Amino acid sequence: MTTRILPICLALAAATPIAQAATDKYRLIWNDSPATSVTVAWCQLDGEDAQVHYGDTVRREHTHGVDRQTTHLKLESRFARLRDLRPDTVYHFVIRDSNSESPAFSFKTAPVGEARFSFVAGGDSRNHHKARQRANRMVAALNPLFVCFGGDMISRSNSKDWSAWLDDWQLTTGADGRMVPIIAARGNHEGAKDIHLLFDSPIPEDYYAVGFGDFLRVYTLNSNIVRAGDQGAWLAADLKKHAATHWKIAHYHHPFRPHHAAKAEQHAQYNAWAPLFYTHGLDLAIECDSHVVKRTWPLRPSNAPGSDQGFIRDDAKGTTFIGEGCWGAPLRRNNDDKAWTRASGSFNQVDWICVSPEELTVRTILVDDSQATKPIDRDSPFTLPTGMKIWQPESGAIVTLTPRNADGRSSLDAKTLARVEIIAPKSPFDTSTEVRISIKGEPGAGAKLRYTLDGSEPTAESPRYRKPISLSATTTIRAAIFRHGKALSATVSATATRADSE
């Protein structure tokens, strides 16, 4: 009888895992210097004396213990703050405790100086697990340097919701174990202590900045507490101190001016932050909360004629706003566009932002329509993976920002891919000439060229350009792109001079 039972027992043993990991819910966090540090975080199920074994080779020659441990909503979190890392370097690590070893992971530190990389931004992943999981898989496929998450990760601040969110977050890790650091902001569905205790934010108030040298600075703001006061004073001082930073970005939860009509206008937040954004040349603001999609033209705070809800378009020195959520929370109607709204919609999405010394571009990933079966080619980090789809609104699929000059002005007349070119023969001409006007870039469907010949500013009522314009006298031509009565570009002008009029 023994000889019959033994093979069965061996077969059962072979089908049973030898050991289960005593750690789970892994995440990487950036809240300090991303070129030389990272925080490795996980939840401890059992075991003792956990350590991170890491190195820039699979040998993982360094070890680091737990710097902080928290017990919050029945989750036992551990944080190991790795320091003195080398910039722009891939590190490999595992977590070992007294009775287990985690899967093998890796991460890449940030480069120093001017660089080329991408990051993903968004928020509001509360309810719909499948949409949230699809968005997380988009992160893994895009392989960004980091993720800015703008809050409302969960619906209720309890163990069940947070456990599910952290489990879903594992889908942002690539099949090769490559993890993506998160820069986390607080939303109104998070408890007051959640971000600090689960993501090791530097202060309990959850506002801080992460600097990529003088190239990029990311401001994480807390729109759930007083926007002025200590937070406002810190923001003003830090923006002033880092005035020379090449790119400045902020992300936070509540939008100044929501694009869903049932959401309240954030007047206190506008008063505290909007003037600082404009004065100190903030390039991009990433907002959440409304569960709609929006892009704006570059804006400055103003109540002058032509403004709408305290903002007016300013292509030269304004801040561009994007958002507002849709990582899996219930979708709402985009029913509150403004005069300065560039595009809006309602669908699950994340924003993919590519950063280089020459420009910053924003593409919006259609989460439900994308099937990224193959991750991004790391040799071509700005090329979308096969099967990934981006939003194509009439105003153009790509939002492009350019660096500011010493006076704070964008080096591009309009922060848009659409611009006007007037093609005239060399001046002076003899008796007559023809002038051509063309659109350079991607203005989207419905765009029309309008022009004037008397030196006045073109409007939506000006003549539409359809064919070359014949001139027989000295003339100043001014032209701009319009759609639905709104200007899409800066005005461009040129003068064709007749020889005998000089």
Q: Is residue 411 part of a domain?
A: no
Does a structural domain hold residue 39?
no
The predicted pLDDT at position 3 comes to 40
Same domain, 298 and 435: no
Amino acid present at 289: D
- Are 427 and 297 contained in the same domain? no
3-state class of 162 per DSSP? helix
Supply φ then ψ for residue 189, to 5 degrees: -90, -15
The CATH number of the domain where 322 resides is what? 3.60.21.10
Question: What pLDDT, in 10s, does the model give residues 24-72?
Answer: 999 999 999 999 999 999 999 999 999 999 999 888 999 999 999 999 9
Q: 42 burial class (0-12, 13-18, 19+ CB within 10 angstroms)?
A: buried
User: Is 58 within a domain?
Assistant: no
Q: State the residue range of the domain holding 192.
A: 113-401
Closest Cα partner for 263 from 321, 351, 324, 191? 324
Q: What pLDDT sits at residue 446?
A: 74
Q: What is the pLDDT of residue 380?
A: 82
Q: What is the pLDDT, as a whole number, of residue 502?
A: 57
Separation between Cα atoms, residue 224 and residue 222, nearest integer Å:
5
Ranges of residues in the chain whose predicted pLDDT is under 70: 1-21, 411-418, 425-427, 441-445, 502
The type of residue at 374 is K
Residues 237 and 318 in one domain: yes
Q: What is the pLDDT of residue 2?
A: 38
The total number of structural domains in the chain stands at: 2
| Cis bond before residue 461 (omega within 30° of 0) | no
Is residue 163 located within the same domain as residue 214?
A: yes
Q: Where are the beta strands (DSSP E) in 83-207?
A: 90-96, 105-108, 117-122, 146-149, 182-184
Q: In terms of domains, do 276 and 231 share one?
A: yes
Rounded CA-CA distance 136/102 in Å is: 21
Contact between 481 and 447 (Cβ < 8 Å): yes
Q: What is each CA distance from 501 to 86, 427, 456, 474, in whole angstroms?
A: 67, 11, 21, 7
Beta-strand relationship, 341-345 and 293-296? antiparallel
CATH number for the domain including 439?
2.60.40
Measure the CA–CA gap between 201 and 52, rounded to whole angstroms: 20
Look up residue 458 and give its DSSP letter. Answer: P
Residue 101 lies in a domain: no
3-state DSSP assignment of residue 171:
helix
pLDDT of residue 37: 98
The reply to whether 280 and 323 lie within a common domain is yes
Q: Please report where in the chains the tokens 């003195």 appear, as a residue.
A: 84
Q: From the centroid of its chain, how far is CA 213? A: 18
Q: In terms of domains, do 165 and 249 share one?
A: yes
Q: Helices (DSSP H) in 210-358: which residue ranges?
A: 229-241, 267-279
Centre a 10 Å sphere on the Cβ of residue 279 and count the other Cβ atoms it contains: 15
For the stretch 287-315, pLDDT in tens is 999 999 999 999 999 999 889 999 999 99
Residue 246 counted as domain residue:
yes
Q: Are 397 and 423 members of one domain?
A: no
Pair (220, 326) in one structural domain: yes
Question: 322 and 427, same structural domain?
Answer: no
